[in-house]
């Protein structure tokens, strides 16, 4: 078999695979989620997808390519553009990262805003100081700020608070079953997050301590049919 024939067959298979993908998602949108964390956040979202029986073709939780916010955005853009070239771009792209002490946090937010202005479906899903604050909101409303103290960073302080909560005394990054432990109080956490955002104003919201809009992405996933 000549190289030309092999190339034609490979191209035909790629076209068939793309056609099958389009058929699978014909009844709904397709989302891409790229997280800062390599364990905690991807594990949490994966558990939602399993619990709600959401097909991986509908929602892809991609591995990151570096943990800084700017690297998250760049990696998400690369994945988005690769799929767009195949003629089947993601309908929504969510970049999930923490404020913590990242120097590239604000530049990453500005990059996402520019992508949105350029009509690319990018959104920032952020938490201050970290993802663990979203978990804490399942146990009650709080607007008390977090501060580094001694050898503990702001993120460490949030984790320390979380470890004082029922069933989370042994919490660690990448802990499995987090969504299962929290799902009965997810609605409460969403309400607390929304209330907290209302207490901030305008573009200064993401500078508030604490702050999160993780509820927006979680509700979007839970509403998928």
Between the CA of residue 12 and those of 8, 15, 24, 82, what are the distances in Å?
6, 5, 18, 18
pLDDT of residue 67 exceeding 50 = yes
186 or 103: whose pLDDT is higher? Answer: 186
pLDDT above 70 as % of the chain: 85
What is residue 20's predicted lDDT score, i.e. its pLDDT? Answer: 46
Locate the domains of the chain by residue range.
28-222
Q: How far apart are CA 72 and CA 105, in angstroms?
A: 10
Give 65's pLDDT tier (boundaries 50, 70, 90). confident
Query: How much is the pLDDT for 207?
Result: 76
Pure H helices in the chain: 3-24, 40-51, 69-85, 105-117, 131-136, 154-162, 178-182, 186-198, 214-222
Per-residue pLDDT at 81: 96
Q: For 71-116, how does the pLDDT look when each residue is reduced to its tens digit (9 = 90+)?
A: 999 999 999 999 999 888 999 999 999 998 788 999 999 999 999 9
Alpha carbons 163 and 154: distance in angstroms, whole number:
15
Distance CA 46, CA 70 (A): 23
User: What's 101's DSSP letter?
Assistant: T
What are the pLDDT digits (tens) for 134-143? Answer: 999 999 999 9
Paired tokens of 135:
């978990």
- Phi, then psi, of 73 in degrees rounded to 5: -65, -45
The pLDDT value recorded for residue 17 is 55
pLDDT of residue 4: 58
Tokens in use for 125? 């899903």
Check residues 104 and 204 and name the one with the higher pLDDT: 104
């Amino acid at each position: 078999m000549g190289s030309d024939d092999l190339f034609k067959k490979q191209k035909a298979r790629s076209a068939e695979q793309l056609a099958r993908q389009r058929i699978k998602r014909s009844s709904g949108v397709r989302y891409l989620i790229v997280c800062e964390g390599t364990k905690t956040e991807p594990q949490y979202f994966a558990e939602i997808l399993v619990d709600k029986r959401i097909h991986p073709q509908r929602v892809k939780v991609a591995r990151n390519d570096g943990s800084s916010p700017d690297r998250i955005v760049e990696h998400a853009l690369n994945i988005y553009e690769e799929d767009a070239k195949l003629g089947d771009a993601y309908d929504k792209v969510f970049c999930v990262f923490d404020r913590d002490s990242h120097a590239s946090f604000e530049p990453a937010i500005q990059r996402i805003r520019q992508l949105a202005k350029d009509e690319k479906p990018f959104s920032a899903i952020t938490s201050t100081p970290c993802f663990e604050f979203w978990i804490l909101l399942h146990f009650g409303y709080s607007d008390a700020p977090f501060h580094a103290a001694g050898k503990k960073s702001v993120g460490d302080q949030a984790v320390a608070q979380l470890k004082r909560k029922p069933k989370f005394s042994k919490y660690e990054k990448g802990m499995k079953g987090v969504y299962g432990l929290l799902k009965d109080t997810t609605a409460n956490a969403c309400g607390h997050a929304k209330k907290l955002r209302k207490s901030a104003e305008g573009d200064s919201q993401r500078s508030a301590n604490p702050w999160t809009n993780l509820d927006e992405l979680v509700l979007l996933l839970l509403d998928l049919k």
